[in-house]
C-alpha cells in the first residue's frame, strides 16, 4: 500500500524533487525488506574460517530475494534448492569438531534454530543426493525461553551459529541442514518462516554411534506444532516447545520392534547411552558447544508491564515498544512491519 501511494505520486507529480524523495522512500522500503530476510550461504570450518558463499552450502532458491519457505509439506522444506543446480563442494571435517554456518545479514527475526544431519546412502556421492527419506537427525538447537511474562529468542540477531559434530557420528558423507524458524507472524497456519541451507560435508575419524531419532523433510513438521503455530506476542507464552525430534548427542537410539499384540501402546523410541569410552567425550563436547557473535542491535521484547493503547503499535520489524495491548484490545498483525492494537 505505501509503495502504491508513492508510485502514484511519481506519476502525477512532475516536480523532480518530489520524484527524488519518493524514490528515496521506495529505496528505503526495499532496503528494509531485503534486510529482513536472509540465507545461510557460508560454512564455517573448524577454527572459525568462513568459507565463500555457496562454496559448501547448496545455493538456495532465495539466494537473491532471501524469501523464506512457508509450506512445510513441499520438497523445498528440505534444502530449498528446487530451482538451482548444485555446484557446491564437499568440505572435510573431523567428527567432534566445531563448525557452523554464517548468516551475512544475521538471523534478524525472533525465532528458533535447528541443525540436522543426514548421511548419504553408501556408495552415493553426497553431491548427487537429494536428502530424501527418513534420514535426518538433529544435532543442535537454539530454542526460546518463555515464562508467561517474557519470551526471548537467543538465536535472534546471530550472525553465526556454531555446533559440534557429535564424536560418535559414523564417518561418511552428510548433508548438514540449518534451519531458523522465524515466528514473528506465526500466529496463523503457514505464517512461520523457514530459512534453510544445506551444506555438504565428509565426516572423518567418526565413531560407532547410531544417530536418531530420524525424520524426513517434508514430514518432520505438520505446521500445527505448538512451537510453529504460535502467537509470540499475546498472550505471552508460558512455555515453548522446540519443534522436531530431540537432539542426538551420541550413542544409539534403539527403536523397539513393532508390538504385534492388540491394545498395547506403541512407544516411539528409547535412547540408551553407550558403554564405550565415547560417552565421556560426548558429554564434554556437548558442554563445549557454543554459539558466538551476536550482533549489535538488541531489539527483542520491551520492558514488561507496559502495554500499547487502542490503535497503538504492538509489533513489526524493528519495533522495540510494548508487544502487549491494553485490555481488551488484541495485537493484530497488519504487515511484517506493523501490528496494531485493535
Ligand atoms: C522457481 O523458478 C520459477 C521460474 O523462474 C519461479 O516462478 C518460481 O517462483 C521459483 N520458485 C521458487 C521456490 O523460488
Ligand atoms: C506449553 O505447555 C502446554 C502443556 O504441556 C502445551 O499444551 C503447549 O502446547 C505448550 N506451548 C508451547 C508454545 O509449546
Ligand atoms: Cu523477513
Check residue 170 and give its pLDDT.
97
How remote is the CA of residue 31 from the centroid of ligand 3, in Å? Answer: 12
More confident residue, 259 or 101: 101
How remote is the CA of residue 225 from the centroid of ligand 2, in Å? Answer: 9
Determine the average pLDDT of the residues in 278-290. Answer: 33
Longest Cα–Cα distance in the chain: 82
Starting from the CA of residue 77, give the closest ligand.
Answer: 1
Starting from the CA of residue 316, give the closest ligand.
Answer: 3
317: exposed, middle or buried (Cβ count in 10 Å: 0-12, 13-18, 19+): middle
Q: What percent of the chain has pLDDT over 70?
A: 72
Q: Are 114 and 220 in contact (CB under 8 A)?
A: no
Q: Are 94 and 75 in contact (CB under 8 A)?
A: no
Query: What are φ and ψ of residue 124, in 5° steps?
Result: -105, 130
d(CA 16, CA 37): 32
Which atom of ligand 1 is closest in space to residue 69's alpha carbon? 13
Q: What percent of the chain has pLDDT over 90?
A: 61
Determine the average pLDDT of the residues in 75-87. Answer: 95
Check residue 308 and give its pLDDT.
83
Q: List CB contacts of 275: < 8 A, sequence separation 6 or more.
A: none
Q: Which of 112-116, 191-195, 238-242, 272-276 has the lowest mean pLDDT?
A: 272-276
| Helix H or strand E encompassing 44 | strand 42-44
pLDDT at 201 over 60: yes
Residue of 333, 13, 2 lying closest to 183 (CA atoms): 333
Check residue 305 and give its pLDDT.
56
d(CA 280, CA 250): 10
CA distances to 45, 119, 134, 207 from 91, in Å: 8, 14, 23, 18
Residue whose C-alpha cell reads 554464517 in the numeric block? 102
Which atom of ligand 1 is closest in space to residue 67's alpha carbon? 14
CA distances to 4, 11, 196, 234 from 14, in Å: 17, 7, 44, 46
Q: Confidence band (pLDDT; 50, 70, 90) for 23?
A: very low
How remote is the CA of residue 95 from the centroid of ligand 3, in Å? Answer: 34
Mutate to test the pocket of ligand 2, among 186, 226, 228, 237 (most ligand atoms within 8 A of CB): 226
> Sign of the C-alpha dihedral, residues 208, 214, 252, 240?
positive
Mutate to test the pocket of ligand 1, among 83, 84, 194 (most ligand atoms within 8 A of CB): 83
Determine the average pLDDT of the residues in 6-30. Answer: 40
pLDDT at 205 over 60: yes
User: Taking all residues of the chain, what is their mean pLDDT, rounded to a whole number?
Assistant: 79
User: Is the full-model pTM beyond 0.85?
Assistant: no
Which atom of ligand 2 is closest in space to residue 241's alpha carbon? 14
Determine the average pLDDT of the residues in 73-91. Answer: 96
Q: Confidence band (pLDDT; 50, 70, 90) for 254?
A: low
d(CA 213, CA 259): 18
Determine the average pLDDT of the residues in 17-25. Answer: 42
Ligand 1 binding site (Cβ under 6 Å of any ligand atom): 61, 76, 82-83
How remote is the CA of residue 305 from the centroid of ligand 2, in Å? Answer: 23
Q: Name the DSSP class of 339.
A: E
Which atom of ligand 1 is closest in space to residue 65's alpha carbon? 14
d(CA 322, CA 305): 8
Q: Confidence band (pLDDT; 50, 70, 90) for 263?
A: very low
CA atoms within 13 A on the CB side of 327: 2
Protein residue whose Cα sits closest to atom 7 of ligand 2: 226
pLDDT at 20 over 60: no
Determine the average pLDDT of the residues in 112-127. Answer: 97
pLDDT tens digits along 153-172: 999 999 999 999 999 999 99
Which atom of ligand 1 is closest in space to residue 76's alpha carbon? 13
SS3 36: helix
Protein residue whose Cα sits closest to atom 8 of ligand 1: 83
Residue whose C-alpha cell reads 566445531 in the numeric block? 98
Cell of residue 74, nine digits? 513441499
Which atom of ligand 1 is closest in space to residue 61's alpha carbon? 14
How remote is the CA of residue 191 from the centroid of ligand 3, in Å? Answer: 11
Task: Please give the order of strands across the beta sheet that includes 160-164.
Answer: 42-44, 98-102, 160-164
| Helix H or strand E encompassing 31 | helix 16-36
Check residue 262 and give its pLDDT.
38
Q: Pairing state of beta strands 193-204 and 91-94? A: parallel
Amino acid at each position: 500500500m505505501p509503495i502504491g501511494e508513492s508510485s502514484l505520486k511519481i506519476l502525477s507529480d512532475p516536480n523532480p524533487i518530489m520524484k527524488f524523495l519518493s524514490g528515496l522512500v521506495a529505496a528505503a522500503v526495499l532496503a528494509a525488506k531485503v534486510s529482513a530476510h536472509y540465507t545461510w550461504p557460508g560454512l564455517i570450518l573448524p577454527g572459525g574460517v568462513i568459507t565463500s558463499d555457496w562454496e559448501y552450502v547448496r545455493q538456495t532458491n532465495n539466494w537473491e530475494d532471501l524469501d523464506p519457505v512457508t509450506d512445510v509439506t513441499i520438497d523445498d522444506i528440505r534444502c530449498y534448492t528446487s530451482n538451482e543446480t548444485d555446484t557446491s563442494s564437499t568440505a572435510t571435517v573431523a567428527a567432534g569438531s566445531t563448525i557452523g554456518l554464517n548468516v551475512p545479514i544475521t538471523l534478524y527475526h525472533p525465532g528458533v534454530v535447528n541443525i540436522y544431519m543426514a548421511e548419504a546412502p553408501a556408495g552415493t556421492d553426497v553431491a548427487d543426493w537429494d536428502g530424501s527419506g527418513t534420514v535426518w537427525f538433529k544435532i543442535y538447537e537454539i530454542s526460546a525461553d518463555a515464562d508467561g511474562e517474557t519470551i526471548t529468542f537467543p538465536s535472534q540477531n546471530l550472525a553465526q551459529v556454531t555446533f559440534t559434530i557429535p564424536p560418535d557420528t559414523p564417518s561418511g558423507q552428510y548433508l548438514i541442514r540449518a534451519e531458523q524458524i522465524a515466528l514473528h507472524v506465526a500466529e496463523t497456519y503457514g505464517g512461520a518462516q523457514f530459512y534453510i541451507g544445506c551444506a555438504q560435508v565428509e565426516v572423518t575419524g567418526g565413531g560407532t554411534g547410531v544417530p536418531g531419532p530420524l525424520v524426513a523433510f517434508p514430514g518432520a513438521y505438520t505446521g500445527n506444532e505448538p512451537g510453529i503455530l504460535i502467537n509470540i506476542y499475546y498472550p505471552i507464552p508460558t512455555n515453548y516447545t522446540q519443534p522436531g525430534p530431540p537432539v542426538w548427542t551420541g550413542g544409539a537410539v534403539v527403536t523397539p520392534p513393532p508390538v504385534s499384540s492388540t491394545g498395547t501402546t506403541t512407544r516411539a523410541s528409547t535412547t540408551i547411552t553407550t558403554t564405550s569410552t565415547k560417552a565421556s567425550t560426548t558429554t564434554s563436547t556437548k558442554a563445549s558447544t557454543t554459539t558466538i557473535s551476536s550482533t549489535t542491535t538488541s531489539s527483542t521484547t520491551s520492558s514488561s508491564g507496559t502495554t500499547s493503547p487502542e490503535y497503538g503499535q504492538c509489533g513489526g520489524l524493528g519495533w522495540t515498544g510494548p508487544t502487549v495491548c491494553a485490555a481488551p484490545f488484541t495485537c493484530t498483525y497488519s504487515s511484517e512491519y506493523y501490528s496494531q492494537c485493535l
